[in-house]
Structure 1
Amino acid sequence: MRRALTTIALGARYASSLSTSKRKILVLHGKGGSGASMKLRFQAIENALPEFDFTYATAPHELDGGGYQWWTLPPGVRSYQATEYGGVDAALDVVRSSQADVVWGHSQGAILLGFAAATEAIDWLGGAKLILNGASWPKPYEAELERGCRGDTLHVLGATDDINPPEQARRLAACFDNARVHVHPGGHYVPTDEAAIECYRDFLLSGAASDCPLPMSTDAPQVMIERTLNSLAGDDVDAALRRIWDLAGDTFKYYYRFDTLDEFIKDAKQTSDEFATSFYGMAITGKRWTVLRPFTVAGGPDGWIGTCVVETVARDDRKRKWIWELRKRRRPPRMGEWYIESIGSSDADGTFDVA
Structure 2
Amino acid sequence: AHASPMLLGVAAIICAPHSTNPLLIAPHQTQPRASRRVVAMAARKKKMVALHGKGGTAASFEEYMRPLVEATSDTWEWEFVDGPFESAPGKCWWQLKPGERTFEAKELIGCDESLSLLDKAWPFDGVMGFSQGAMLAAIACGRGLGPGSTKMGRPPVAIIAGAAFPTCRGADVNKLKSMEYAAAESEVVVPESVAASPGALNFDPLVKSLHVIGKRDAMNPPEQGMKVAEAFGP
2:165 is matched with: 137
Instruction: Give yes or no for the alignment of 1:37 onto 2:86.
Output: no
Partner in structure 2 of residue 95 of structure 1: 118
| Closer/same/farther in 2, CA of residues 144 and 57 from structure 1, 3 Å limit | closer
Q: How much has 1:127 moved relative to structure 2?
A: 3.8
User: Is structure 2 residue 109 aligned with structure 1 residue 86?
Assistant: yes
Corresponding position of 1:27: 50
Structure 2 residue identity aligned to 1:33: G
Shift of 1:33: 0.5
> Structure 1 pair 101/52, CA: closer, same or farther in 2 (3 Å)?
same
Aligned length in residues:
168
CA deviations 1:207-262 (Å, max 9, x no partner) are xxxxxxxxxxxxxxxxxxxxxxxxxxxxxxxxxxxxxxxxxxxxxxxxxxxxxxxx
Give per-residue Cα distances to partners, 1:33-84, cap 9 Å, x unaligned: 1100111001111122122111100001112x33101011101001011010
Structure-2 separation of matches of 1:133 and 1:45 = 14
Tell me the amino acid that sits aligned with residue 160 of structure 2: L
Q: Post-superposition shift, 1:156?
A: 0.8
Unaligned runs of 5+ in 1: 1-6, 180-355
Equivalence for 1:120: 144
| Whole-angstrom CA distance in 2 between matches of 1:13 and 1:160 | 47
- 1:46 match: 69
Match of residue 211 from structure 1: none
Q: Which structure dedicates a bigger proportion of its chain to helix?
A: 2
Candidates 170, 173, 186, aligned match of 2:229 = 173
Map 1:303-318 onto structure 2 (within 5 A).
none
Equivalence map 1:310-329=2 (5 Å): none
SS of the residue corresponding to residue 48 of structure 2 reads: strand
Q: Deviation at 1:143?
A: 3.6
TM-score by length of structure 2 reads: 0.64
- Partners in 2 of 1:79 and 1:8 — Cα distance? 51
CA shift digits 1:92-119 (9 cap, x unpaired): 1111222311100100011012222223
Instruction: Give the root-mean-square deviation of aligned CA atoms.
Output: 2.6
* The one of 122, 129, 133 aligned to 1:109: 133
**Structure 1 residues 8, 77: CA separation in 2 closer, same or farther (over 3 Å shift)?**
closer
What are the equivalent positions in structure 2 for 1:211-290 lying under 5 Å apart?
none
Aligned to 1:271: none
Q: Say if 2:145 and 2:154, in contact at 8 Å, map to a contact too.
A: no
Paired residue secondary structure (2:50): strand
133, 151, 156: which is aligned to 2:212?
Answer: 156
Q: Aligned partners of 1:13, 1:62: CA distance in 2, in Å?
A: 47
CA separation in 1, counterparts of 2:42 and 2:145?
32
Code of the residue aligned with 1:86 in structure 2: it is I
Cα distance in structure 2, aligned partners of 1:24 and 1:129: 11
Instruction: From the superposition, tell whether residues 20 and 31 of structure 1 become closer, same or farther in structure 2 (CA, over 3 Å).
Output: same
Cα distance in 1, alignment partners of residues 136 and 222 from structure 2: 17
Structure-2 change in CA distance of 1:127 and 1:81 (3 Å): same
| Alpha-carbon distance between aligned partners in 2 of 1:102 and 1:77, rounded to the nearest angstrom | 30
Superposed CA offset, 1:141-193 (max 9, x none)? 2244445254211111111111111110001111123x4xxxxxxxxxxxxxx
2:207 alignment partner, SS class: strand
Partner of 2:85: 61
Displacement after TM superposition at 1:20 (Å): 6.6
Q: Which has the larger radius of gyration?
A: 1
Change in Cα spacing, 1:76 to 1:143, as seen in structure 2 (3 Å) is same
Aligned AA for 2:225?
A
SS at match of 1:30: coil
